[in-house]
Structure 1
Amino acid sequence: MAPGEQTARDSREEVPSPRMRRGACPTLLEPMQTGDGLLARLRPAGGILSIQQFIQLAEAAHRHGNGILEITARGSLQIRGLGPQTVQPLAADLDAAGISVPAGPVIELSPLHGIAPDEIGNPAEIEALLRDKLAAELLSPMLAPKLSILIDGGSNCGLAAVAGDIRVTAVSAGVWQVAINGDGRTALPLLIGSADQAVRAVGDLLRLLISLGRHKRCRDVEGARLLSAFPAMELMKRARAPAFQDPLVGTLTLADGAAVLGLRPRFGQVRASDLVAFLGSAKAFGATQVRPSPGHIFLLAELTCRSAILIAQMASRYGLSTDRHDPSAHIATCAGAGACASGHYHTKAHAERLVSIAPELLDGSMVVHLSGCAKGCAHPQPTLSIVGAQDGYHLILNGKASDAPDAQIASGDIDSAIEELARLIKNERHAGESAAACLRRVGKGDVTRALRQG
């Protein structure tokens, strides 16, 4: 076993007390209490499962949880509805399937690492070096549970749009950039060098975070401390990031003629029984490899173009979409009432209604965030947010779920308010103007007045 590797066997020793705090990161070792039981989040080593392993994982989720499997916005897998007595059997089943989950901070790799035709460097090689050279640092309990380390191979199908604490990005053959606090465009560069130099820089960052105290993030490091540790950063320029790409939904043909099929469960959630049935059929068509990926999707890799077409044709029967223009993709929902003790309304049901009654909101220019409470777990960035509250709903036109509401809506009036908002956009939008641009131009005052009048 590699240093720091957590197999499911480790979690059979003890089931820790569940947590519910915002900022905690539920794992197989430390599941989190939610409204529908315990939640375990995991990312397989290397970000890849065989299709048989994914089938076995889904079967275990059905057997030991409530049969709901989720793929998060960052591409992690979540198993819902576990009980204190079922966590250990789940761990045993995953162990038997050969699924290992490295302990410590999540290391996220480009979804098409190793097979992207325009990849500059292979992120898997950097991950192996990190886990070999920095095993002690990665296992430190002082590190924040949600500390994120991203390794991007530099392809157009990479992680440029995903923000992280620490980014290691290939910039040319054998050369990597280490940057912090942001996505491919906004992260602050600290060093450019060889793979070994990049790994040493990550080690320096981890030790710096550990020295600052428990659960510190890169944003907590003062500029003077950074400059002392990385004096060359003053001369650094941000490497040119690839243009942000939409999630890899649908069929992508690689340079060697092989195909990859990206599938999105509706609102990031699928029944384990449906997933098992779908994967069994996909396996019969030759699918061998699964890669959970950012954007609530998973990729079937190593397909022929013909098999990708056949698998895509049957996907919708199992609650999976291969349509990159699916309007439901522009809605971010948390688990909601019934699945989270903090949720004030059923977010998934409201999301379905939103698709049917307010298509004007879902043109892709913004994300509509349906949050069961003010924590805003599903979408921490500012956007159009409908937040559950004890007195009904809070509508925030361009902000976080925790921000002060621009309008308060009674419990029974939410559908009419959403319809009124969609009608406002339809009537006020200029030719070629997006929904988000229309709302900005009209302004919060006129929007809230229209909602009150409606």
Structure 2
Amino acid sequence: MMGADLKRGWCPSLLRPMESGDGWLVRVRPRAAVITAVIARAVAGAATRYGNGRIEITNRANLQIRGLRPETVEPFAAAMEAVGAADDGPAILVSPLAGSDPGVAAETLDLAAAIARASGLALPAKFGVLIDGGGALPLAGLSLDVTLRAAGGRWLLDGAEVAVEDAAARALALAEVRACAPRQVAGRTDTRPALGFHPYGDGRQGAVLLAPAFGQLQATQLSSLADLAERLGDGSLRPTPWKSLAIAGVERRDEGLLRDLARQIRLMTEPDDRRLGIVTCVGAPSCSRGEVETYAAAESLALSRHEGDPLLHLSGCAKGCAHPGPAEVTLVGENGRFTFIRRGRPGNEAVAHGLTLAQCAALMQSVPA
């Protein structure tokens, strides 16, 4: 199954791994925005058994499993197939709370299923369809190559109104056209929902949004989250494109307990956590292209940040995978040091090159935003 695909350069999926500095990585896609507790435990167990136990939440709300070896890629895929998690169809990003929050447009999951059934549609590896049904966690500020968005009882296809009965077919037709054209740049603003409780319409139930630091989970944390979802939620985890996880169907009276238990397994639960304003990739040595270690650098920089500080993008190399748009400050790894870019993205004009982390921190403090 894997032989011809086991090479560098793929946009990774479950069946098409990508080589990195710490081994091979694959991605598990949620089905209809949901990772059940059973699947979460299976991912955690297989990530420990066949990889290095590190799991990332990606910008497309997938789970990315790191540290696999060539001989463990197929056993990992088989473990996912055994629990019904082997989804390798079109990349569709759906509202995280679809199927739980009554405020999400009722057609959202049906539209996603109709597009997913178009298995014969040949799309580029990084091509994505976004279906935003609104609700307590709307995908506001995000767009992909094709974007369907609910708006006041209507559906908009890239901003143009479409009848709901025609929406899937129109989206597929647009996808076919754009698949043959230069790729659209994904849209992303710095706006993201706050961590904590997001009530549904009646206020009695809602979803609790939690986040691992910089989007990286350990397998043991994922297993513990599955237990919490079964105990205090609807039994599912919902990865988000903000590198966080929502536990849906939580009673308001239980949200404080859930957050307390999540903190015990080292999850971020508070909207003012200073690490939330930093977006970073895995960096060196886990990424073969990384030119600096990023996670320890991000933890260090977080200590000097304050509530309301603008977004900081810390990139291990010039690719800038973690954040496709501009940021107020972007630090790019360069031969063990950093390039400092203000109000831009990797590759834009730099303020300075060859800085140490301490020099970057001082520059951020000395120059007004």
Cα distance in 1, alignment partners of residues 179 and 357 from structure 2: 46
- The residue that corresponds to 2:340 in the other structure is 395
Contact 2:94 2:108 in 1 (8 A): yes
SS, match of residue 46 in structure 1: coil
Q: Deviations over 1:164-204 (max 9, x none)?
A: 1111112343x32111xxxxxxxxx3x42222322222222
- The code of the aligned residue for 1:354 comes to L
- The residue that corresponds to 1:420 in the other structure is 362
State which structure, 1 or 2, has the greater radius of gyration over its C-alpha atoms: 1
1:217 has 2:179 as partner = no
SS, match of residue 350 in structure 1: helix
- The residue that corresponds to 1:136 in the other structure is 120
Q: Deviations over 1:375-421 (max 9, x none)?
A: 111112122111111263211112111224210134xx321x13322
Shift of 1:26: 0.6
- The code of the aligned residue for 1:402 comes to G
Q: 1:159 aligns with which of 135, 139, 149?
A: 139
SS, match of residue 87 in structure 2: strand
Contact 1:385 1:399 in 2 (8 A): yes
- The residue that corresponds to 2:80 in the other structure is 94
- The residue that corresponds to 1:253 in the other structure is 199
Cα distance in 1, alignment partners of residues 233 and 134 from structure 2: 29
Cα distance in 1, alignment partners of residues 120 and 47 from structure 2: 31
How many residues align structurally?
Answer: 364
SS, match of residue 348 in structure 2: coil
The within-5 A match list for 1:336-375 is 336-356=283-303, 358-360=304-306, 363-375=307-319
SS, match of residue 341 in structure 1: coil
Contact 2:132 2:148 in 1 (8 A): yes
Distance 1:124-1:343 versus aligned 2 partners, 3 A rule: same
Q: Which has the higher helix share?
A: 1
1:40 has 2:9 as partner = no
Shift of 1:276: 1.7
Cα distance in 2, alignment partners of residues 40 and 103 from structure 1: 14
Q: 2:170 aligns with which of 177, 182, 201?
A: 201
Cα distance in 2, alignment partners of residues 98 and 171 from structure 1: 33
Cα distance in 2, alignment partners of residues 320 and 344 from structure 1: 28
Higher RCO, 1 or 2 (CA under 8 Å, sep at least 6)?
Answer: 2
Shift of 1:311: 2.0
SS, match of residue 149 in structure 2: strand
The within-5 A match list for 1:53-452 is 53-104=39-90, 106-132=91-117, 134-137=118-121, 140=122, 143-155=123-135, 157-173=137-153, 175-179=154-158, 189=159, 191-212=160-181, 216-218=182-184, 246-247=192-193, 249-256=195-202, 257-285=204-232, 287-356=234-303, 358-360=304-306, 363-383=307-327, 384-390=329-335, 392-410=337-355, 413-415=356-358, 417-424=359-366, 438-439=368-369
SS, match of residue 127 in structure 1: helix
Cα distance in 2, alignment partners of residues 218 and 381 from structure 1: 13
- The code of the aligned residue for 2:84 comes to G
Shift of 1:28: 0.9
What TM-score do you get using the length of structure 2 for normalisation? Answer: 0.91
- The code of the aligned residue for 1:375 comes to K
Shift of 1:287: 5.0
Shift of 1:280: 2.8
Shift of 1:248: 5.0
Shift of 1:321: 1.0
Q: Deviations over 1:248-269 (max 9, x none)?
A: 5212232352231111001100
Give the RMSD, CA atoms, in angstroms: 2.3
Cα distance in 1, alignment partners of residues 229 and 34 from structure 2: 16
Distance 1:195-1:244 versus aligned 2 partners, 3 A rule: farther
Distance 1:147-1:292 versus aligned 2 partners, 3 A rule: same
SS, match of residue 101 in structure 1: coil
Distance 1:334-1:244 versus aligned 2 partners, 3 A rule: closer
- The residue that corresponds to 1:186 in the other structure is none
Shift of 1:323: 0.7
